[in-house]
A = this chain, B = another copy of it.
Amino acid sequence: MSSTPRAWTEPAQRPVPAGAPEPLPEPARDELRLEVVMGALSDPLRMHIVRTLLLESEEFDHTCGWFGLDRPKSSLTHHFRTLREAGLIRQRQYGLERRSHVRVDDLQARFPGLLALVADWQQ
């Protein structure tokens, strides 16, 4: 995994740490809808979030605040929820923070090649 910087091409995802909180409500893998996923990615800010998360998520999950986005917190909540409800990201509550990562396995299984397009996206 560390030999190539593009972990999103790998089918395997790093294991969930023991004791991690349950993910927030999200669609199951077989409930993912391509048109809903694409609708979530049709917003440039959300595309940016997913792409950044994808290319930086090898080490650990990230909080909303980590991105340094210049938007009010309530706007970020809205976009992260949209991404989670579309099935693009998984969110877990760690104490104060809500950490996110891309659902690489599920997305690769259902929509192979989609994440490669996201990774190649240019702002």
Contacts and interface: CB of A to CB of B under 8 A. Distances in A.
Contacts of A121: 34-35
Interface residues of A, number: 18
Nearest to A45: B35
A42 interface: yes
Nearest to A115: B113
Nearest to A42: B39
Residue of A36, A47, A113 with most partner-chain B CB within 10 A: A113
Nearest to A38: B38
Q: Which of A35, A111, A121 is most buried by chain B, counting CB atoms within 10 A of its CB?
A: A35
Given A39-B42, A42-B39, A34 B113 contact: no
